[in-house]
Structure formats: structure tokens, C-alpha cells
Chains A and B, each alone.
Chain A
Amino acid sequence: MLNTLKEPQRDALQSGFQEQYVKAFKWMLLARTVEEKIANLWRAGKIAGGVYIGKGQEAVSVAIGTMLRRGDIFAPLIRDQAGRLAFGEPLLDILRTYLGSKTAPARGRDGNVHRGHPREGTYPMISHLGAMISVVAGGLLARQMKGITGTVGATSIGDGGTSTGAFHEGLNFAAVEKLPLVLVVTNNQYAYSTPNSKQFACHDLVDKAVGYGIEGYNMDGTDLRQCLEVVGHAVERARSGGGPQLVVATCLRLTGHAEHDDASYMDEELFKQPLGRDCINLTESFLLEQNWVVESALTTWRQEAKAEVEAATQQVQREPVCSPADEDWMPLATRRLADFDF
């Protein structure tokens, strides 16, 4: 079954929606601000390894984090800072991870976007694309076996990730078991330097839903309102027994693959198209248009986000960093089975 939600009437917007929309925008703003800070710290040589930001994808990501509830499962991908914050990840996590604080979630054992709190429902991604789909689905299957109902699992992937075998196996397995999985594909037009034309040959990625026998939706990834509505609908469908849901968002990666990538290969024409608009700008315009906020309030929110990020950065920069002296080099939970005879 293939659905595309109809454009809702603006006068139909409800007051509860306004509150949700404003809250989501603030998370988007905080995500953009902290990622700009991380990028600056990288340029200043303060961060080891790559820095991957979600510029242009905040609306899609925040919709996932907003529409999930505490107790649900979320496995974010690399451009999901906004969704992480909205789902409850502390702002300190990203700074601690990138700056190598010893209190970072992975304690220096893993970095950048591979962080999570599995027991609180945030599963940490591995770099191999598509691999988290079956993990989230397996978590949902376990809950089903334990008699836990009413929870949903969501995970993100990009256009490139849809080409992997793991994507296919994971989604097919979730469909076979009719698990409450929401898979959000953000088609940001490029997988590193590879454009859609070299990634897939189907007319639209949402067509894949038919092949798996699941429900699928398209949405404009630059439009926060649509993202909240479509992802919200998909999450509710999954929660109420509708099985796996495929949501395909269209937008543009407004940055390189990582900070070390100048993205000179990107087609400049794309930036002039509707999909190339910046979701933060569009959201601000919408807020002003609806009279939900005045210009000066937007300025205040931006300043608040900046102040919050600066305070958190300073706190983390004062924290002790990871040290080999604190490391037990123990890969096993079962310490008696350690093999150290090398």
C-alpha cells in the first residue's frame, strides 16, 4: 500500500501542533548550532577524526525524535543530531564524544556519531550502512516475545544505504514479522560523492515499500510541518499494529559528506531547486508567517542556543580526557574468559 499524505490545510493547524512545531524548531536550532561549533573546533584542530553534520536534514531528523516517545527505540544515523536531542540525548554527549572526554558514552572507545544509550532506547550505530535496521527490528521482536506492546522502533538511513544487502534483509525481516518499525530514508541526493543516478534505478525510493509489502510515504524533507505530520502518522500506524513503515524524505545535503569534504562535485543547480532550501530558514519563515513568533524572539532563541552550546563546550573542555592509564583493554563482559596470553 502506497500513501502520500494530502497537503493539510493551514487553517486546520491545531494549537497542540504549534507547541510541537516550536519545540521541534528549537531542537533543530540547537542541533545546527552545536554542529557548527563542532565543525569550528575541527577546523581549529581540536577534534581527531571525521566530523559529520546534518545541515539541511534537521527537519527530517527532528520529526523522528519528536514523534517517538520515551520507551521507544531509536537508532540514529550520521545526520541525526536534531533527532537525538529531541529523543532525549543530552547535549553534552556530542561534545564529550568529539572532544574525547572520559565521560563520553563510549569512553573514547568509539567516537563521533557512534554513540548511544542502548538501555534507554538509543542504539549506537556502526558505520556499515543498513546494519541497524535488523538490530532495531530484533529489539522489537524481543519486546513482542516479552509481551511488551505499544512501543515503536525507528531508524534512519540515506539514499546510499538503500543499496545495501543489510537494508534489504533488515526491512524484509521486519515486514515478515510485522514489527512496529519506522524506517526513514533521507534522500539527500548524494552518498558521499555518488549521485542518485548511480545509486538506484527505481523511479522513487518509496516504490520499494511495495516490494516489501509495507506502507510507504513521501515527504518534503525541507518542510518541518510535513515531516512532523508524515513521520507522526507513520509512528502511529506502526504503534497501532500497521507493521513496518517506510518514509522517504527528499532534501539536499547542504554540506560535504564530512568537514574534510568540500563537496565540489555537487551539482550547483540542485541548490536552486525547492529541495535545496535550508529547512531552518523555511521553518523560521513559517513561524513568522503564522504569527507564532516575532523576529526578535527568533534572535533570542538563536542566542539562547549559542549560549547553551558555549556553556556545554566550556564544561566539557574542563573535563578529564580519555587516558590509556584508565583503560582495562578488556573486550569481554566475562572477565574470567579474557585471553591475555599473547
Chain B
Amino acid sequence: MSITYLEAIREAQAKALRDDPRVYIYGQDVADFGGAFKATKDLAKEFPGRVLDSPISEDAMVGSVVGAAIEGMRPIVEMQFSDFSSNAFNQIINQAAAFHWRTNIPCPITIRMPSGGNPGSGPFHSQALESVYAHFPGLIVMTPATVEDAYDLLLEAIAIDDPVIFCEHKFLYNRVKVEKLPERNGQSAGKARIARPGRDLTIVTYSATVHDALLAAQELARSGIQIEVVDLRTVKPLDTATVLTSIANTGRLLCVGESWPWGGVNAEVIARVASKGFHLLDSPPQRLNSRDVPIPYHPDLWRASRPSVAMIIERVRKILQW
């Protein structure tokens, strides 16, 4: 008996619905159909009247849950794909994110965004938008890499009194699994995790590329290179302290993430390290992002467009030769 990342997301929602009558789920095809990825499978049956299908209206979906939050609910919105959240951008960044600042009243909504690329998904079903949403004050942005974090962080997201952008990576849905769900920790947001200890170089990453970084680290270990992998878990707030502590040990930094390079999470990590930990660095900090192009459709182009294990290894070797 094992549980996948996707099942953990479903289980977290089931637990939230069970434990808190204020929780409900709203999104396209989420009720009887169980969602495009089956993240809400059977929940409508188990919780009648609390898993609701929406029209194809991303703007109204997010606007409506802000209204529901004002009335005391704790809604979960499922975007069918993170890419479609651009249609809800106004309600997310202007309505939800600014609400507490303007009114002093909490806006506890969770927006689940099936994120990131899969072979053959193309430019409109593949985007990793954590860097975009992290730009806006008033939002929490979570990027779980593991089954445990998908479960634990989602429950925490629902409990948090602020709007949370929950970036769940589609590539991980059925590819990572554990034997059983963890006991809840409950306060993981804003706390990075050392996914693998090492002394030669720090890779700061999050979401799916944590697994690429771990594979790269495994490979590099064969030639005696010890990589420390820091999994940010939430990109906003960003755990600067854990990153700096790691770099104090290794002196070298490579940031890896699937979003685009300009002004993103990797750029933010490097900016913080440069301004607060410049003296800790033995070489220039580096970043590895997806290429600065719309995401390609063809699987071979797609693989070549995002950070891969081979690219990480190559970049690490370059940094170590500096």
C-alpha cells in the first residue's frame, strides 16, 4: 500500500472537509467527475454540497471565493491548469492579495494550481508560475516537492488566514510515492528543508527540480563531489536563513527552478545571498531556469527547455572549476 503525491493532495482535501465545515472546493469538473487529474475523486460523494462545479470562469471562481471568505468560509479553488490562472490574475493579485491589507479582515483562500511541464503539454498546459505570484504582496506561495509536503503544506494552506497559491507539480502527481502519510507537522510554511546534506556546493531548489537535483547529487557523489540540496518548500515566504547557513558550509551556490529566469525565485535567492552572504561565497552564484521561451510542445524540445539532471551536473562542475 503506497500513496502518491496526487493521492496525498486528495487526502489532504478530504481531511480538511472532514475537520472543518467552513471548507469547500470550487472548480471546473471537480464534483462528480473528480477533477481533470482526479485530485478531488469521490469527494463530492463523500461531502455532498461541498464540492462544486464552476462554469469556465476563472475570474469569477476566484472572485466568488473571496466573497465566501468574507462570509467566513475557507474555500479551495482548483485551477484546471496553473496556466489558466492568468484569466483570474486580477482577482488573485488585486482582490484576494490586497484584501487583508485594505480591510484588516483575513482572506483565507487556497488556490490549487496544477503546475509545471509534462512531455507533450505545450505552451498553455505547462507553466510554472510561482515566480509571478511571489511578486505580489499578500500572497503565500507553496511549492511542495514530496508527498509528505504536498499533504502537510496543503492542510497548512487551508488553515492559513491568507490567500495561498499552492503550486502542485503535475510531473510529480503519480511519479513520487511513500508508504504512508506523515503525522502532520502543521508549520512547514516558510521553512526550507535539507533534502541531502553535502559540503562542496549548495543547490537551492523547490518542486519537481528537487528530484532532478537529488539525482544530479547522487551522480556527482560518484566522483566524490558532495552536494547539499536545499528544498525551499515555500518560495514565499523564502527561508533565507537556511539558505545562508548552507552556503556558509559550502561556499558555492546553484539555484535550480522550472520557472523563467527573468526576476524569478532563483534571481531572488541569489539577490538575498549576494546582499546578506556575499562574504560566504567562494564563486559567483549561478542559476538554472527553463529557457526564456514559451514552453515547447515536442517532448524532446520540452526536455531540452527545462533544467535536466545532465544540465545540473554540467553547471555544478563548471562552478567547482571556478
Binding partners A and B = yes
CB-contacts of B56-78 with A (<8 A) = 57-68, 70-73
Asked whether B138 is an interface residue with its Cβ less than 8 Å from the other chain, the reply is: yes
A138 touching B101 by the CB < 8 A rule?
A: no
Asked whether B238 is an interface residue with its Cβ less than 8 Å from the other chain, the reply is: yes
A334 touching B161 by the CB < 8 A rule?
A: yes
Asked whether B100 is an interface residue with its Cβ less than 8 Å from the other chain, the reply is: yes
B72 touching A146 by the CB < 8 A rule?
A: yes
A338→B140 CA distance, assembly (Å): 9
B95 touching A126 by the CB < 8 A rule?
A: yes
Q: How many residue pairs bridge A and B at CB < 8 Å?
A: 146
Asked whether B311 is an interface residue with its Cβ less than 8 Å from the other chain, the reply is: no
One of A35-43, A61-69, A162-170, A286-294 at the interface: A162-170
A119→B59 CA distance, assembly (Å): 23
One of B47-55, B120-128, B258-266 at the interface: B47-55
| Closest A residue, CB atoms, query B24 | A145
Which residues of A lie under 8 Å from residue B67 when comparing CB positions? 123, 134-142
A166 touching B90 by the CB < 8 A rule?
A: yes
A134 touching B91 by the CB < 8 A rule?
A: yes
B70 touching A337 by the CB < 8 A rule?
A: no
**Given A145-B50, A337-B140, A337-B237, A137 contacting B106 (CB threshold 8 A):** no
One of A109-117, A182-190, A194-202 at the interface: A109-117
**Given A126-B95, A126-B98, A106 contacting B24 (CB threshold 8 A):** no
| Closest B residue, CB atoms, query A75 | B67
Asked whether B321 is an interface residue with its Cβ less than 8 Å from the other chain, the reply is: no
A106→B104 CA distance, assembly (Å): 8
A146→B61 CA distance, assembly (Å): 19
0 or 1 for each of B165-203: is its CB under 8 Å from A? (1 = yes) = 000000000000000000000010110000000000000
Jot down 29 A-B pairs with beta carbons below 8 A, ordered by A.
Answer: A109-B101, A110-B102, A118-B105, A127-B94, A131-B59, A131-B90, A134-B57, A134-B60, A134-B91, A138-B63, A139-B67, A140-B67, A142-B73, A169-B55, A169-B59, A176-B55, A331-B98, A331-B137, A331-B138, A332-B140, A333-B107, A333-B108, A334-B162, A336-B187, A336-B190, A337-B140, A339-B190, A339-B236, A339-B238
